A and B are shown apart, each in its own frame.
Chain A
């Protein structure tokens, strides 16, 4: 395993890998170096080590801090209003407010839970599968607390790291609601999200992203020691720059399971259920694209070259995916649709997420085109095979795109294909030996773990809720529309 670890991508590293002695992060968590693949998650470093604690006021870079603050706000924009509009436009006009409300409330619930216990369980040191209790209620965090990055000696304020990770958790939960839109009971959704966030999001985030940071990695032994304290999938060397497994596959599986357990909408397959406002869909997709620059480039955790690479890839892969989907639709279905372009946009963003800081620009274009075409199949051919009513195609886009991206990251991260390779924190250089086959297998392990974990947690949670409070609204309420029946209001004059 250690070997894998070593290889972690240089994603962030590219830029400032400062060999330096670096700052030692204050907390137990930060310790050494190791790989740097999973971008988003350097662990927070709470406690203090033997050396004097690292103080943000002395070590934080104002540029990094400013960029992370902005990135965090950009990611918030993805959910509110980006995702709400993207999803809302896809529903019938009697259900758009229910989607907006679900996004708003789930976002807010998860935000508060994140501060209470989510951050601690995901990003402090504990076991390989879940973190510890050090930051419960954000205990001990103050403006001088720092979190490690992917560069030795570079830290950012822990407050902004915590907030940046919070918006990831919230959008992941909000993504799920698209699978059972137009029929699920509001209270059931909220309860499900609390359970799923706790038992699926937090462990997966910890497994993929937690590590103590690179500062204490000086030799093979310290690398091994640091790696041993990281999350389970991090130890294996899974590369997930901004959340292909943690966010997209995780959410898509939960959605797919939900669409099966909750059942189809009344009239599904018989009545027309066409999107009621494709302009909202286009607006939402465009806001997602915009906000995704914070999501991916922010995952570098620094304002550096790695962030710039992730930014460019987020830009290029998405455009390529729009072209891929639209051209495929034009050829196969006769007409290129606006809905297709918007869907291709999201598919490309999803697929480039795990790869953003690891692949080169041409690799990102290849990933984008592939994602655009394969996700078109995801919402047509595959959807028919699966046979469930995944209302807004969460699995077809986020699941198929997420899995494609996670696997292709292993291919295009290869320096021979223009990727960054994996950073070796011992040598402080890109590891010379990159094997696509072995990285692909590691990536597949990340995908399989996430699929099974999220699938099991989701199934149990949905079944439990079905027994206790019921998952669906009554038939007449569904026919009337959730806007009126669940929320007592309507979006449009009738």
Chain B
């Protein structure tokens, strides 16, 4: 079982969610975040004062998936979130030791 953490452009969220549903991902968690990477920020000018905005708004998606659909899930995110322009984001994959569904106490794959 793996945890996929993807940082994407905010306006791509709906497409990514649909693509993940299609490959069988049963749930995701979304957080609005800010950060910087290769994409440059921008400057804002207020009368005489110039401010450099380094941190750009992004959306972070977290989804725990079974190993069997990991590759397809990653591919779904890649395809749906890609614009081809700088700033499309990143996907991180990390192992998950344990999963528990709070309502029923189920664990492992059946808890997803």
Contacts and interface: CB of A to CB of B under 8 A. Distances in A.
Interface of A: 272-275, 333, 335, 337, 339-340, 343, 379-381, 383-384, 393, 396
8 contacts: A273-B49, A274-B44, A274-B51, A335-B45, A337-B46, A339-B46, A380-B47, A393-B47
Nearest to B52: A272
B48 interface: yes
Interface in B45-87: 45-49, 51
A69 B17 CA distance: 62
B47 A343 contact: yes
Contacts of A396: 47
A337 B48 contact: no
A384 B44 CA distance: 18
A-B pairs, top 4 by smallest CB distance, nearest first, are A380-B48, A379-B47, A272-B51, A383-B48
Contacts of B51: 272, 274
A274 B49 contact: yes
A340 B45 CA distance: 10
Contacts of B47: 339-340, 343, 379-380, 383, 393, 396
Given A272-B51, A343-B47, A383-B48, 14 more contacts: A274-B46, A274-B51, A333-B45, A335-B45, A337-B45, A379-B47, A379-B48, A380-B47, A380-B48, A381-B48, A383-B47, A384-B48, A393-B47, A396-B47
Nearest to A392: B47
A298 to B, nearest CB: 30
A486 to B, nearest CB: 24
Nearest to A376: B47
A340 B44 CA distance: 13
A247 B47 CA distance: 23
B56 to A, nearest CB: 15
A340 B47 CA distance: 7
Contacts of A335: 45
Interface string B22-58: 0000000000000000000000111111010000000
